[in-house]
Amino acid sequence: MNNKQNEKWNPDENTREFMARKDHFFHACGDYPNRISGELLRQYEIPARSGMVGSYGSPAGISRAFADMAWVVMLYEQELIPLDTAQKLLIALEEAKNDSTYWGEDWLRNYFNGDERIASSVNLGRTLQEPMSRIQLRNRSIEFFDVALDTMSFLLDYAKEKRDLVFAAHTHMSQAQPTTYGAYLAAIFDALLRGMEEVETGYRHTNISSAGCGALEGSGWPVDRKMVADLLGFDGIIGSSYDCEAGQDYATSLLFGLTSIAVVMSRTSMDHEIWGTDEIGYFRVNGCVAGPSSLMPQKAHAGGELEKVRFYSNDVMNALHRALLSLKGEPYEDILPIYQAWGAAESGLYLSMLTFRLFRAYLENIQFNKERMLKTAAEGYSCMPDMAVYLIKNRGLAGRHAHRICATTTFLARKKGIKGNEITPELMNEALELNQDPLRDLLTLEEIRECLDPVKSILRHNNIGDPHPDEVLRQIEERRGQLAQFRARQEERKAKLKQGDDLLNGRIKAILEA
């Protein structure tokens, strides 16, 4: 009998209490799998779904109120509206910032008991929307960058911790060469960072002011577009008034970067779900991220939250598709379908934050089986490239000659059911004979073991980008520098927006006290 069956496990009180409940659906997991994701879904999925259907909810109204306040300040300072009108509008708009139903002039007309003159002054010399959607998307982008940077920093810490966790990596779904989990995460970090840099480009395209553009020709009023841009913390203004409304490609620019990230998140989640299967068994996960079944009582599969990562990654790509379709085939002008693009971009930002946080929560709940990972690598044939190199360097063989010997040796090992760490000089001699190669006894048993040891293989691979633990550590520190530069740019973005807020608040205060 397995001795483990005789070992008494002493669960904590929380586990005892959980198992005493009647929630059989989750008993194999030992916890509620939606304990983590439930909160995240409420935080991100609901607003994401609103954006996907083109809803103009609370955040958009708040952004509109800020845009309107800056416009009113400019109108007053350009002497286009009198002081009392500016004061009344600014007092009303201060309340509007906290009202989820605010949507511009109609709201103001009700606020002023039907006074159309005051209410309509808010839109003097401009078209309705601009630059509300840009404010909305840049604010969501700032939030996204914070979430992403937090996750990326965690990835580097985790990669450092796991830089000596050896396993056989795959190409074409087949064992290829040994690597470490830390080296794998460093690669994932790089791919995600490229996507984040694309989102930064989208942010730059977004954070330029379209206020005062009119429909395409400007307004004919002596408005000061630069003043509004400064009051709202924009980096500049869009140079062509025609392009302000007709463009809308700042939304797709953001989504191109978010889609790059979504592809990486989807692919790495699939890797992990495969590695967590019972057949491979590189790790198990805590019950809070496992997957149960209403039919099969044994189910506590390791891909529970990972499938959600892929699900929401798909939705990011759907958001890009929606945005592109809203623009494709439309004339280059102000026309209603194109305004679906920015709502799709906002959805993409929410969904991307959700996937980042789900993936981090998943990694925090992995329990790796280091011995099984190493055993799988040792019993496979992923170190054969090292043996070929050894034959070339130490026996003077031509490259393809060495490759042929190692390939035939692997063929024979598979035919005979011999594992990689069981290969002998006799098997190599048989491979040489099968190749009609006159050479014999090329390697001793000790040399074969040295070549085919996955841990030693990792230590032999110490060039730039290789999986040697010291090289992975160097990569991590280099990437910490890249992340620090990204954080610095993020702080610059925040400072620019705060500068605009301070400037706007100062101008509003001066008007109200005049």
Q: Are 213 and 238 in contact (CB under 8 A)?
A: yes
Q: How many domains, in total, are found in the chain?
A: 1
**Is residue 448 situated within a structural domain?**
yes
Range of the domain at 412: 384-452
Residue type, 345: A
Contacts 24+ apart (CB under 8 A), 45-48: 45/312, 45/350, 45/351, 45/354, 47/346, 47/350, 48/315, 48/346, 48/347, 48/350, 48/351, 48/354
**Side-chain half-sphere CA neighbours of 309 within 13 A:** 28
Q: What is the pTM of this model?
A: 0.93
Residue 482 belongs to a domain: no
What is the CA angle 18-22-25, rounded to 5? 85
Residue with tokens 């996907």: 52
Domain membership of residue 363 (yes or no) is: no
370 class by beta-carbon count within 10 Å (0-12 exposed, 13-18 middle, 19+ buried) = middle
Quote the DSSP letter at residue 427: H
Q: Would you state the pLDDT for residue 45?
A: 82
In the predicted model, is pLDDT for residue 511 greater than 80? yes
At 169, which helix (H) or strand (E)?
strand 166-171
Name the one residue in this structure whose structure tokens are 């509109």: 64
Dihedral-angle region of residue 248 (phi above 0 means left; psi in -120 to 50 means alpha; beta otherwise): left
Confidence at residue 21, expressed as pLDDT on a 0 to 100 scale: 84
Is residue 413 situated within a structural domain? yes
Q: Where does 239-332 have alpha helices with state H?
A: 241-246, 249-275, 304-327
pLDDT digits (tens, 9 = 90+) for 7-34: 777 888 888 888 888 788 888 888 887 7
Q: Look at residue 393 and tell me if it is in a domain.
A: yes
Q: Across all residues in the chain, what is the average pLDDT?
A: 92
Residue 203 placed within a domain = no
pLDDT the model gives residue 129: 67
Q: Residue 135 domain-assigned?
A: no
Contacts of 457 (CB under 8 A, 6+ apart): 177, 178, 382, 383, 386, 451
Q: Mean pLDDT across the stretch 210-231?
A: 88
In a domain, 399, yes or no: yes
The whole-number average pLDDT for the span 282-296 is 89
Angle ∠(311,32,315) on CA atoms, nearest 5: 10
